[in-house]
Copies of this chain bind each other. A is one copy, B any other.
Amino acid sequence: MGAISKDGLEIAKRAREIVREKIKDVLGEKIKNFSKEELLIIERVVHATADPEYAKLLVFKNNPIYHGVKAIKEGKPIITDVNMVKAGIRYDKTYCFIDDERAYELAKQGITRAVASMRLAKEVIDGGIVVIGNAPTALLELINLINSGIKPKLVIAVPVGFVKASEAKEMIRNTDVPSISTIGPKGGSSVAVAIANGIIALSKNERV
């Protein structure tokens, strides 16, 4: 997972074994309900958080890995809600509009900058991949865009928090759009980046 030294490789190998054991413990018999690729994404998230509960929380809806991998292979853009998520994703065509001047302007109308950034990204989102690790309001705005006809290839929807995040994630799961999301309030930038980099690695046939 990016480790290039001998030390790094050894840590990565042992960590992977432990992560797999923890996931088995959490999922039990239900591990059979996941594809090999889905389990690789789950491993990435548990690795990034040291929180095996994510094995129970992650939901793969509408064949998201297939669509995400295809989008990356076709060179489609990734749009993130915040710069921290952008910084973690290992893919050149990754964009974030939250610091765009126009986002500051739009925010004066009483919306969050996260919402503004989604509106600004509308055309790039159509046919692209959206990664939301932070702002529930960004996800709600994305759902508005989807309802108005915008079609992202994949939405990685893991905004975090005790207010609106669970509901927004439930709403994206109720659309036809391929999504990877979490049940409940947990999520965050580290989770979002782990999933996105997993999809990118799968698109390169890398061992994720």
Measuring CB to CB, which residues of chain A are less than 8 angstroms from any residue of chain B? 3-8, 11, 14-15, 18-19, 22, 47-51, 82-84, 86-88, 107, 110-115, 136-137, 160-165, 184-190, 193
Bound-state Cα–Cα, A192 to B69, Å:
30
A190 surroundings in chain B (CB, below 8 A): 160, 188-190
CB pair B87–A5 under 8 Å, yes or no, is: no
| Nearest-neighbor residue (CB-CB) of A83 within chain B | B87
Contacts of A6 in B (CB 8 A): 110
Q: What is the chain B residue whose CB lies nearest that of A111?
A: B5
Interchain CA distance A88-B193 in the complex, whole Å: 13
Q: Which of A5, A11, A107, A186: most chain B CB closer than 10 A? A: A5
A-side binding surface: helix, strand, loop or mixed? Answer: helix
Indicate if the CB atoms of B84 and A15 lie closer than 8 Å. no
Q: Within the complex, which residue of B15, B110, B162, B165 is in contact with A162, where a contact is CB–CB below 8 Å?
A: B15
Contact of A4 among B5, B87, B112, B193 (CB under 8 A): B112
A51 vs B186: C-alpha distance when bound (angstroms): 7
> Chain B nearest CB: distance from A48 CB in Å?
6
- Quick one: closest B residue to A192, CB to CB? B190
Is the CB–CB distance between A162 and B18 below 8 Å? yes
In the complex the two chains form, is A188's CB within 8 Å of B87's CB?
A: no
- Please give, as numbers and ranges, the residues of chain B lying within 8 Å of A186 by CB-CB distance: 49-51
